Chains A and B, each alone.
Chain A
Amino acid sequence: MFELLEVKNLSVSFHTPQGEVEAVRDLSLSLHPGEVLAIVGESGCGKSVLCKSVMKLLPRNARIKAGTILADGTDVTRCSQRDMERLRGRLFSMVLQDPMTALHPAMTIGAQIAEAVRAHQPRMTKMAVRRRVLELMELVGIDMAEERYGHCPFEFSGGMRQRTVMAIALASSPKILLADEPTTALDVTIQAQILDLLRDIQARLGTSAILVTHDLGVVARAADRAAVMYAGKIVEIGTVEDIFYDPRHPYTWGLLRALPAWAEEGQPLYTIPGMPPSLLHPPKGDAFACRNEYALAIDYQEAPPMFQLSDTHFAATWLLDERAPQITPPWRGASYE
């Protein structure tokens, strides 16, 4: 199967005064054409860094240490600054978390979208650009586009701003959309609208998307496949059905069990004990071992490989090794009431 995006053995580090922080550690991942892949994890697990690595928009103190990122056949890690400028917007583009800060505060909405349109079509006439901008605004559901063309971001609500950001991201018809927590800063009702818009656009334009989020509800609503990330690694990846109805990694169990939606009345919520490890000096072996109630001795020694469970489902835990003791998973899959 042709992969639109293929990340192989990627390692990204930040150089801080305290030392090297290994934000992404030997991560491999692929994105199929026309799907929405969710990346779930807690803050600091490296999910945003992964996104920015693909776009090569990492901060100055970050470095891609090893690995390749093949985007539509091009190895992004080897691209120069100029090459990246040509790829951004056309091959992939980004939707940021906070629409309040993502738009230039003093430029009109229309001008900001127009800029994105012209970035890859500098010869386009003014009229054509305007027509395209209005078309994009309609596509993302900004009504009264003519009138709102000249508005500034501060006159827009959060949801409208996020729609604007999406219009900007879609301006040059990218093949991959990287959405970094696109709904976290929004209200629930707006969140639902934006997620539906994302799905709708994905279906209409055939764009593939990576959806970074910490909210499993968002994953359930908008994603086809999901990857669970912990401490810079993917611990489990599969279709959303695999992840929600047949999770195999203890961390995935923990995440699902901790959701208040599943809590029994009057009972305390399930919590994963402890805190995520510092990536300044990642622990030896499985990073999740010290929070894992099913940890085996080998977890503290050696990091588990990815075990294949089916064509789509992979998990990295020693529990799946044939020598491991059989345990009954505490989570038998989602079932709402």
Chain B
Amino acid sequence: MRRKNPFIYYGGKLAGLAVSVFVLSLAVFYIARLAPGDPLVSYYGDRAEKMTAEERAQAEERLGLDEPVHIQYTRWLGRALQGDFGISYKYKTDVTQIIADRLPNTLLLGGTGFAVIFAGALAVGALCAWNEGNLLDRIICKVGTVVSCIPEFWLSLVLILVFAVQLRWLPSSGAYTLGGGGGADRAVHLILPLTVTAAGHLWYYAYMIRNRLLEELRSDYVLLAKSKGLRRRDVLLRHCLRSILPGYLSLMAISVPHILGGTYIVETVFSYPGIGTLSYESARYQDYNLLMLLCILSGSVVILSNMLAQIISERIDPRMRGEMPAEVTEHG
């Protein structure tokens, strides 16, 4: 078998990433300016509406908004390449600083949420497949359907009502207690948002795992594995999971933005200072510089996670290396 040079291999992937991010930034830059709205409102607030035409023109010139879009873009790109992404119109500070303040919170919530969903779905799906058709399987399936139908904000409110207001076990909002902020404190603040995030997404992936596993369990190689004398557990864990993992990993990697994005509602309800709220605001208030960096960040996350998924799949499944097509012999 031919082995690829790792430098060429990963270098190619990185070049692909750079090109994708460039195209993405171009698209976002133009589309953002097509959207209706007034960027001056986010900079000057209510004052913007009372400005005279002359004042407006001055303000636009100062923000560099009076020039044609492609010149704006080249200037932005030039600065961005040097690490200067501009200032936020709304917060009037460096965008990198704003994002740097909030990113850890989102990463904490999204990251743990993602891990919980990933592992939980695998466990629940495997448990259901193992007990196919039994009471447990049916109960989990029913509960899952019901829970995934509950809107996130409603579930959040109910949880806040029960655990924060009535029982006073858990805090109702924020990422940490003001003044405090140790690890334990953060963890306590994370419980409710995490529960809501996981409850909303887990079932979909768990069903997928369950159905894929059942499909695998009906295939010929499982029959052969059983006839070797392998234990049922080993067949399920070693053979079937191995078959579905590449697909699952790819799906999860593609779902990274979906799950991170899904935390937006949760962040809002729990007043959790994260990226979700920030993205929404930046788009709503035409905060161009902030929007650009957020889009590039999330775009890179999508692309990187897809690449990661592909690399993992190739490691697990040799057929994915693209050296051999699946159908080697022509039939007949």
Contact residues of A with B, CB < 8 Å?
Answer: 55, 57, 59-60, 81, 85-90, 92-94, 96, 98, 101-107, 115-116, 119-120, 152, 154-155, 165, 168-169, 171-172, 178
A90 to B229, CA, bound (A): 7
Residues of A within 8 A of B238 (CB): 115
Look across to chain B and name the residue whose beta carbon is closest to the beta carbon of A113: B228
Q: Are B227 and A104 in contact (CB under 8 A)?
A: no
Known: A60-B133, A154-B328. A104 touches B230 (CB 8 A): no
Choose from A57, A85, A104 the contact partner of B239 (Cβ within 8 Å).
Answer: A104
User: Which residues of B131-176 have CB atoms within 8 Å of chain A's CB atoms?
Assistant: 132-133
Give the distance in Å from the alpha carbon of A164 to the alpha carbon of B232 in the complex.
22
Closest 6 CB pairs of A and B: A89-B229, A94-B227, A101-B220, A116-B228, A119-B229, A88-B229
Cα distance A138–B97 in the bound complex, in angstroms: 66
- Give Cα distance in the complex from A88 to B225, angstroms: 10
Q: Mark B273-305, 1 if CB is under 8 A from A, else 0.
A: 000000000000000000000000000000000
Among A59, A92, A154, A168, which residue has its beta carbon within 8 angstroms of that of B224? A168
- Give min CB distance, B222 to chain A, whole Å: 9
* Docked pose: A96 CA to B238 CA in angstroms: 20
Smallest distance from the beta carbon of A152 to chain B beta carbons, Å?
Answer: 5
Of the listed stretches B50-58, B122-130, B311-319, chain A binds: B311-319
How many angstroms between the C-alpha atoms of A101 and B238 in the bound complex? 17
B319: A residues at CB distance < 8 A = 105-106, 152, 154
Q: Please, how many angstroms separate the alpha-carbon atoms of A131 and B319 in the complex?
A: 27
Pick 11 A–B contacts, CB within 8 A, sort by A: A88-B226, A94-B224, A94-B227, A101-B219, A103-B224, A104-B221, A104-B242, A107-B239, A115-B225, A120-B229, A152-B318
Is B317's CB under 8 angstroms from A85's CB?
no
B316 near A93: Cβ-Cβ < 8 Å = no
Give the docked Cα–Cα distance between A85 and B225 (Å).
11
A105 & B243 in contact (Cβ 8 Å cutoff): yes
Q: Taking A102-B224, A107-B242 as given, write out 4 further A-B residue pairs in contact, using a Cβ cutoff of 8 Å, ordered by the A residue number.
A: A55-B227, A96-B223, A101-B221, A116-B228
B residues less than 8 Å from A102 (CB atoms): 220-221, 223-224
Binding site for A on B (CB under 8 A): 132-133, 218-221, 223-232, 238-239, 242-243, 316-319, 324, 326, 328
A155 proximity list for chain B (CB < 8 A): 324
Query: How many Å lie between the Cα of A55 and that of B229 in the bound state?
Result: 10
Nearest-CB residue, chain A, relative to B325: A154
Which residue on A lies nearest to B313, using beta carbons?
Answer: A106
Cβ of A55: which chain B residues have Cβ within 8 Å of it? 226-227
With a CB–CB cut-off of 8 A, which chain A residues contact B221? 101-105
A67 to B72, CA, bound (A): 85
| A93 and B317 form a contact (CB under 8 A) | no
Please give me the residue from chain B that is nearest to A157 by CB atom.
B329
A residues near B219, Cβ cutoff 8 Å: 101
B220, B223, B230: the one contacting A119 at CB < 8 Å is: B230
> Are A85 and B231 interface neighbours, CB within 8 A?
yes
Nearest CB in chain A to that of B324: its residue:
A154
Residue of A nearest to B223 (CB): A57
- Please report the C-alpha to C-alpha distance between residue A72 and residue B198 in the assembled complex, in whole angstroms: 52
Partner of A116, one of B132, B133, B229: B229
In whole angstroms, how far apart are the Cα atoms of A286 and B231 in the complex?
42
CB distance from B98 to the nearest CB of A (A): 45
A93/B230 in contact, CB under 8 A: no
Residues of chain B with a CB closer than 8 A to A57's CB:
223, 226-227
Q: Measured between alpha carbons, how far is A81 from B229 in the docked complex, in Å?
A: 11
Q: Which of B132, B229, B324, B328 contacts A172 (CB 8 A)?
A: B229
Question: How far apart sit A168 and B239, CA to CA, in the bound complex (Å)?
Answer: 15
Complex: A106 Cα to B319 Cα, angstroms: 7
Q: How far is the CB of B311 from chain A (nearest CB, A)?
A: 15
Report the Cα distance A98→B324, complex, angstroms: 21
With both beta carbons as reference points, the residue of chain B lying nearest to A108 in the complex is identified as B318
By a CB distance below 8 angstroms, the chain B residues around A106 are 242-243, 316-319
User: Contact check: which of A60, A81, A101, A104 meets B225 at CB < 8 Å?
Assistant: A104
Say which residue of A115, A152, A154 sits within 8 Å of B228 (CB atoms): A115
Q: How far is the CA of A102 from the CA of B220 in the complex (A)?
A: 5
A90–B220 alpha-carbon span in the complex (Å): 20
* Contact between chains at B243 and A85 (CB < 8 Å): no
Distance between Cα atoms of A171 and B225 in the complex (Å):
12
CB distance from B324 to the nearest CB of A (A): 6
Whether B232 lies near A81 (C-beta < 8 A) is: yes
Contacts of A178 in B (CB 8 A): 227
Q: Which residues of B lie under 8 Å from residue A107 when comparing CB positions?
A: 239, 242
Residues in A with CB closer than 8 Å to B318 are 106, 152, 154
B179 to chain A, nearest CB (A): 53
Q: A169 to B223, alpha carbons, bound, how many Å? A: 12
On whether the beta carbons of B220 and A115 are closer than 8 Å, the reply is no
**Contact between chains at B228 and A165 (CB < 8 Å):** no
Contact of B228 with A168 in the complex, beta carbons under 8 Å: yes
- Please, how many angstroms separate the alpha-carbon atoms of A106 and B132 in the complex? 25
Instruction: With A103-B221, A106-B317, A106-B318 as known contacts, state yes or no: A171 contacts B228, CB within 8 Å.
Output: yes
- In whole angstroms, what is the CA distance A86 to B227 when docked? 10
